[in-house]
Amino acid sequence: MELKGAIFDLDGVVVDTVPLHFKAWKKMFSEYGREFTFEDYKKKVDGIPRMDGARAILNDLSDEELEKAAAKKQKYFLDFLLEEGVRVYKGTLDLISQLRNKNIKIAVISSSKNCLDILERAEIVNIFDVIITGNDIKRGKPNPDIFLMACARLQLEPSGCIVFEDAYMGVKAAKEGNFKCIGVDRYQDPQRLSGADLVVSDLSEIDYKKMMELLQR
């Protein structure tokens, strides 16, 4: 099978927004008297829609209260984004540039409704052929809908695409959609992404040739 497309998760793969998300979640949950550690973040809220993340910790609240909690988290995240900005991973940008030179179609996906704000802040909106945000989907990860939608808008089949993910739920969603998946382990915990076809610590370890080889497996 020939490589035709690459689908990149945004947070943790393209941009380093994880610290901002974690701080926003922690601040919000503290207002409800809940302890929230980085382990909680990785296992319970990383990579999924905001309401699902709120529900994972505040599981005794009504949907109305959960919406208020999720809105607080959103405000805190945007405040932190404005204050601190966002760092883009160089290894990811270099790989995207290499793939574009090979005429590979590129999509970026995010369960977050902040996706466009982040891309604009990082000044990288124009490097993607397709952008799928949390506003576009009804079912979040581990359901594969977000990856299948990206694939459809690229006018490609899953068999010709590779997904890049840094979250357990994201890897699970990619495999549910029958994609080859490269896990990006930013936490020195590769076992967490063991469901991926290949796990690396940074996308500087990946190139077009290695992606082609993975697709042929």
Using one digit for the tens of pLDDT, what is the confidence trace for 122-137? 999 999 999 999 899 9
CB 1 within 8 A of CB 65: no
What angle do the packed helices 18-30 and 50-57 form, to 10 degrees?
50
CA proximity to 124, closest of 157, 166, 93: 93
pTM: 0.88
CA proximity to 129, closest of 158, 157, 109: 109
Give the pLDDT band of residue 200 (cuts 50, 70, 90). Answer: very high
CB 198 within 8 A of CB 183: yes
pLDDT value of position 38: 94
Q: Which one-letter amino acid corresponds to residue 156?
A: L
- The 8-class DSSP code of residue 209 comes to H
CA proximity to 26, closest of 77, 62, 60, 63: 77
CB 44 within 8 A of CB 56: yes
pLDDT value of position 49: 86
**Confidence check: pLDDT of 114 > 90:** no
Q: Indicate the average pLDDT of the chain.
A: 95
**What domains lie within the chain, and their CATH numbers?**
5-16+86-215 (3.40.50.1000), 18-84 (1.10.150.240)
